[in-house]
Amino acid sequence: MRPLVITAITAVSALGRGADAHMRALRERRDALQPNDFEPVVGGWIGRVAGLETSSLPATLADFDCRNNRLAMQALDTDGFRDAVAEAIAIHGADRIGVVLGTSTSGITAAENAYAARDPATGALPAGFDYAGTQDMASLSICVRKALGLRGPAMTISTACASSARCFIDAAHLLATRVCDAIVVGGADSLCRMTLQGFAALELISPDPCRPCDAARAGISIGEAAGFALLERADTPRRDSGTGPRFALLGAGASSDGYHMSASHPEGAGAIVAMRKALASAGLDAGALDWVHLHGTGTKTNDAAEDTAVFAVCGDSVPCSSTKAYTGHTLGACGILETLMGRGCIEQGFIAGCLRVDGVDPAFRARVATVNLDRPVRAILKNAFGFGGVNCSLVLGGIA
């Protein structure tokens, strides 16, 4: 594929709002996990974004008011993202800018609250509950398009925890076919009872803060996040004053191995296909990579399968690590959140090593980084995998 420039990017998670907050935390090796006070019966630790309960949407977006869309609005209001979109509108026109966003649960918390408040006699949901504006998967994309004043195509991708990573591929198709001249990509996933109870039922919640790649890892910690990137063709006139490399999507690959509803293929079959497709799409071999940014959830099976896949594609020469111990697993939003982290690591010249790893699983064969590594980072392979055998890999780096 032809490289696509990421001209703006932003994210919000438990680590804070914006790129600077996230990069400071990675540099300082400081996480934001806390004991689970959202659904305490589940236990474990979560990455919770402060202030969502007391925030609200503007009157023009009142029909979309829910935790997930509040989180998305925080991200839109961070890192000058709205201004970047306004500049793109001035160049391309509002009808030439699309919205492709990912989420796994959308505003389901609003539906959970409505169900809890249903009429005890009739079972009717509260009159004020708006399904289309909250729980419906389309809610996020329509809300963001309206908030930004865009008129291009809008779609929501829901491929579990690969959702916001997968959005880059669908956006690339819209740009390649010139349906759009710019795309707002990304996604949001917020805390909800269904997710926490569901992972608990699968016995995948770690009782302690998660520790991907550690020999004693015991599962995941759930987090929430929202993030957005503005994706444009590389021939779009440069709008910043810089002369250095521009951050870009160099390649992407996806697969669906359909091995199991919730477990990874033990030999990483689908992950291998996605990574090799991404490298081929970028015109690179594994030796050109400086970092494999793992999906790395902290479960026994996911981490082991991904290690097998990474070793099959990259051997033991490329450092790899997961950043989910910092934020918790932000589900469908992890792809965009970790893309922002990747840009920061390229700009600052370091690899963010895994956190809280006392000893790497001795069965692993890939080269796991357990401390931050100060070195040039030019090309990153970013993995995002989801339930149902969905696998997505992105190659990120700089172009002139």
Residue 208 sits in the same domain as residue 91: yes
What are residue 201's phi and psi, to 5 degrees?
A: -65, -30
What pTM value is reported for the model? 0.97
For position 96, which CATH number holds? Answer: 3.40.47.10
Q: Decide if 61 is inside a domain.
A: yes
Residue 73 sits in the same domain as residue 193: yes
Q: Report CA dihedral (52, 57, 62, 64) to the nearest 10 degrees.
A: -60
Q: Decide if 241 is inside a domain.
A: no
Q: What is the rounded distance in angstroms from the CA atom of residue 14 to the CA atom of residue 50?
A: 7
What domain range includes position 90?
4-233
Q: Decide if 239 is inside a domain.
A: no
Residue 368 sits in the same domain as residue 224: no
Dihedral sign for Cα 258, 262, 265, 271, please: positive
The closest of 219, 305, 214, 222 to 259, measured between CA atoms, is: 305
- pLDDT attached to residue 86: 98
Residue 50 sits in the same domain as residue 183: yes
Residue 223 sits in the same domain as residue 305: no
Q: Name residues of the chain where pLDDT drops below 50.
A: none
Q: Decide if 171 is inside a domain.
A: yes
Number of domains in the chain: 2
pLDDT digits (tens, 9 = 90+) for 327-385: 999 999 999 999 999 999 999 999 999 999 999 999 999 999 999 999 999 999 999 99
- pLDDT attached to residue 369: 98
Q: Decide if 144 is inside a domain.
A: yes
Residue 226 sits in the same domain as residue 257: no
Domain boundary among 205, 233, 261: 233
**Are 384 and 335 spatial neighbours (Cβ–Cβ below 8 Å)?**
yes
